[in-house]
Amino acid sequence: MSDFVDRVTVHVKGGDGGNGSAGIRREKYKPLAGPNGGNGGDGGSVVFVADPNANSLLDYRFMPHRAAGDGTMGLGDVKDGSKGADLVLPVPPGTVIFEAKGPVGKPKRPGEQLADLRHAGDRYVAAAGGAGGLGNAALANKTRRAPGFALLGEPGEERDVILELKSIADVALVGFPSAGKSSLIAAMSAAKPKIANYPFTTLVPNLGVVMAGDRRYTIADVPGLIPGASQGKGLGLEFLRHIERTEIIAHVIDCATLEPGRDPISDYHALEHELAEYADKLELPLGAIPIPERPRIIVLNKIDVPEAKELADFVRPEFEKMGLRVFEISTASHAGLKELNFALADLVAAMREEVAGREQAQEAERVVINPLEQTGRRRRAAAGTVPDFAVTRRENANGDIWFEVTGTKPERWVTQTNFDNDEAVGYLADRLARLGVEDELRRQGARPGDEIRIGRGDRAVEFDWDPTIAAGAELLDGSQLGARGKDLRLQPDEPGGRRRTNAERRRQYHEMMDAKAAVRAAMAAEREAGHWSDPSVDDDRHDEQSLFGRGESLDDSDSAIDDAIDEG
d(CA 425, CA 429): 6
Instruction: Confirm or deny that 167 is annotated as ligand binding.
Output: no
Instruction: Confirm or deny that 319 is annotated as ligand binding.
Output: no
Instruction: Confirm or deny that 349 is annotated as ligand binding.
Output: no
The predicted model scores a pTM of 0.66
Instruction: Confirm or deny that 133 is annotated as ligand binding.
Output: no
Could you name the CATH architecture of 169-364? 3-Layer(aba) Sandwich (3.40)
Please provide the size of the chain in residues: 568
Instruction: Confirm or deny that 21 is annotated as ligand binding.
Output: no
Instruction: Confirm or deny that 200 is annotated as ligand binding.
Output: yes
pLDDT (tens digit, 0 to 9) for every residue of the chain, 568 residues total? 345 567 899 999 999 999 999 888 877 776 667 888 999 999 999 999 999 888 778 889 889 999 999 999 999 888 999 999 999 999 988 888 999 988 877 888 888 889 888 888 899 999 999 999 999 889 888 878 888 889 999 999 999 999 988 766 788 888 887 777 778 888 887 656 555 454 444 555 677 778 888 888 888 776 656 555 445 444 445 556 666 777 888 888 888 877 777 788 888 888 887 777 766 655 665 556 777 788 888 988 888 888 888 888 888 898 888 888 989 888 888 888 888 889 888 888 888 888 777 777 766 666 666 665 554 444 444 444 455 788 888 888 787 888 888 888 888 888 888 888 888 888 888 888 888 888 888 888 888 888 888 887 777 888 887 775 444 434 334 444 444 444 444 555 555 555 678 888 899 999 999 999 999 998 888 777 766 555 565 555 555 555 545 545 545 545 554 554 555 4
Instruction: Confirm or deny that 150 is annotated as ligand binding.
Output: no
Instruction: Confirm or deny that 332 is annotated as ligand binding.
Output: yes
Return the axis-axis angle of helices 306-321 and 264-279, rounded to nearest 10°: 50
Domain locations in the chain?
7-165, 169-364, 389-473
E-strand ranges in 157-244 read 158-165, 171-174, 206-212, 215-221
Q: Where are the alpha helices (DSSP H) in 81-169?
A: 136-139
Instruction: Confirm or deny that 205 is annotated as ligand binding.
Output: no
Residues 463, 468, 474, 479, CA torsion sign? negative
Instruction: Confirm or deny that 162 is annotated as ligand binding.
Output: no
Instruction: Confirm or deny that 304 is annotated as ligand binding.
Output: yes
In SS3 terms, 421-450 reads as CHHHHHHHHHHHHHHCHHHHHHHCCCCCCC
For the domain bounded by 389-473, which CATH number is listed?
A: 3.30.300.350
d(CA 537, CA 541): 9
pLDDT in tens, 313-345: 888 898 888 888 989 888 888 888 888 889 888
pLDDT in tens, 497-509: 556 788 888 999 9
Instruction: Confirm or deny that 227 is annotated as ligand binding.
Output: no
**Residues 151-160: b if buried by 16+ CB within 10 A, e if exposed:** bbbbbbbeeb
Instruction: Confirm or deny that 175 is annotated as ligand binding.
Output: yes
Instruction: Confirm or deny that 201 is annotated as ligand binding.
Output: yes
Instruction: Confirm or deny that 342 is annotated as ligand binding.
Output: no
Establish how many alpha carbons lie within 13 A of residue 173's alpha carbon, considering only the half-sphere containing its beta carbon: 32
Instruction: Confirm or deny that 385 is annotated as ligand binding.
Output: no
Instruction: Confirm or deny that 178 is annotated as ligand binding.
Output: yes
Question: pLDDT value at position 372?
Answer: 57
Could you name the CATH architecture of 7-165? Distorted Sandwich (2.70)
**Residues 89-121: b if buried by 16+ CB within 10 A, e if exposed:** bebbbbbbbbbbeeeeeeebebeeebbbbbeee
Instruction: Confirm or deny that 221 is annotated as ligand binding.
Output: yes
Instruction: Confirm or deny that 121 is annotated as ligand binding.
Output: no
Given a contact cutoff of 8 angstroms between Cβ atoms, the answer to whether 171 and 348 are in contact is: yes
Given a contact cutoff of 8 angstroms between Cβ atoms, the answer to whether 300 and 265 are in contact is: no
Instruction: Confirm or deny that 468 is annotated as ligand binding.
Output: no
Instruction: Confirm or deny that 457 is annotated as ligand binding.
Output: no
Question: pLDDT value at position 485?
Answer: 45
Instruction: Confirm or deny that 230 is annotated as ligand binding.
Output: no
